[in-house]
Amino acid sequence: MSRQFIGYLLFAIFLALLPALGAYPIFVMKVMCYALFACAFNLLLGYTGLLSFGHAAFLGGAAYATGHSLAVWGFSTLGGLLFGTAVAALMGLVMGGLAIRRSGIYFAMITLAMAQMAFFFFLQAPFTHGEDGLQGIPRGSLFGLDLSRDINLYYVVLAIFIIGYFICWRTINSPFGQVLKAIRENEPRAVSLGYNVDSFKLLAFVLSAALAGLAGATKSLVFVSATLSDATWQMSGMVILMTLIGGLGTFTGPVLGAFIIVMLENKVGEFGRTLSQLTGVQWFQVLGESVTIVIGLIFIICVMAFRRGIVGEIGYRLRGRKA
């Protein structure tokens, strides 16, 4: 326990020092936003066993809500972040309330369809500015810190990330989290033990949606924009992959997965050019334009041969050695 705590503390200090070490703050902030998003998603799939295929709706919805409240209604930064999170939670309540009426594969399809409905709403509603999205969202200031400076925003995002991560951690390590795991392992038994499974599922869904919303709200501050791409089904797929590649139902897995995927999106073009120089195959040149192919391939490999994910696999090996 204490060793785990020291590990987290060291990691937090490392993150705090990263800009001083020469890391590009925007990049690290992007990773942290996606990491929080993936942690929120993992709460649902990894610990409750519910596959939501619509989490992009919360990311995108919260980004729009925060952006609109800051740019048009003149909310304070904190107010905007909270408003975005609240909107995502509310969306989660509606979507979750409907989706938990079915289970398994239908649950995934319903969340996907609901998220697509939200996508069309964002596409057509006047306040989102359609394909252009919201641009030039004012970052404002928080506790006297001027957030238009990247470095100030960096520490705010880091704080949000740590808070969000702590909420996930606290949730899982609570009696509530134990019930969630029980539902994942054996739902009928949880019912027979007298738990109101539906309300537990719904609460987990709303919590996950709210945290995903927090990630989206923060992301809109980082990029001072909110765009339609955050709300697409591809984004919902992306967060699944982040969680899967890092390790379902592990704490650190989604963070690692988010880092890998963001890195991959940024670097795949360079990698393709290097590969084409090395092998002389022209086609690798276009690899950067076709990130989807790479993502698709990783998806297939993960599902076929690497279902524990990186962190899950390491944990499994370590435990195996002890036993």
Partner 1 sequence: MTALFGIPIQALLGQLLLGLVNGSFYAVLSLGLAVIFGLLNIINFAHGALYMLGAFIAWIGLQYFGLNYWIMLLLAPLCVGLFGIVIERLLIRHLYKLDHLYGLLLTFGITLLIEGLFRSMYGVSGQPYATPAALQGGVNLGFMYLPIYRAWVVVASIVVCLITWFVIEKTRLGALLRAGTENPKLVEAFGVNVPLVVTLTYGFGVALAGFAGVLAAPIMQVSPLMGSNLIIVVFAVVVIGGMGSIMGSIVTGLGLGVIEGLTKVFWPEASNTVVFIIMVIVLLLRPAGLFGKEK
Residues that bind partner 1 (CB under 8 A): 51, 98, 101-102, 104-106, 108-110, 112-114, 116-117, 120-121, 123-124, 233-234, 237, 240, 244, 286, 289-300, 302-304, 307
Paired tokens of 4: 């785990």
In whole angstroms, give the CA distance from residue 95 to residue 109.
Answer: 12
Tokens 């539902």 identify what position?
183
- Least CB distance to partner 1 at residue 137 (A): 26
Pull the structure tokens for residue 94: 């509606």
Q: Residues 234, 237, 239, 243: what is their CA dihedral angle, to the nearest 10 degrees?
A: -160
Please report how close the Cβ of residue 117 comes to partner 1 at its closest, in angstroms.
4
The token pair at 272 is 């393709």
Contacts of 20 (CB under 8 A, 6+ apart): none
> Which backbone phi and psi does 308 adopt, to 5 degrees?
-80, -20
49: left (phi over 0), alpha (psi -120 to 50) or beta: left
Q: Which is nearer to partner 1, 141 or 285 (CB)?
A: 285
Considering the complex, state which of residue 66 and residue 236 has its C-beta at the smaller distance from partner 1: 236
Instruction: State residue 20 phi and psi, 5-degree precision.
Output: -70, -30
- Provide the minimum distance between the beta carbon of 224 and partner 1 in the complex, in angstroms, as a whole number: 27
CA 26, CA 24: separation in Å to the nearest integer?
Answer: 6
Of 18 and 298, the one with the shorter C-beta distance to partner 1 is 298
Shortest gap between Cβ of 303 and partner 1 (angstroms)?
A: 4
**Closest distance between partner 1 and the C-beta of residue 70, in Å?**
27
C-alpha 262 chain-centroid distance:
12
> Residue 72 or 293: which CB sits closer to partner 1?
293
Which of residues 225 and 290 has its CB atom nearest to partner 1 in the complex?
290
Judged by beta carbon, residue 124 or residue 192, the one nearer partner 1 is 124
Which residues are bridge partners to 226 per DSSP?
A: 134
CB of 188 to partner 1, least distance (A): 12
Measured CA to CA, the distance from residue 291 to residue 238 in angstroms comes to 12
Smallest gap from residue 267 Cβ to partner 1 (A): 17
Considering the complex, state which of residue 156 and residue 235 has its C-beta at the smaller distance from partner 1. 235
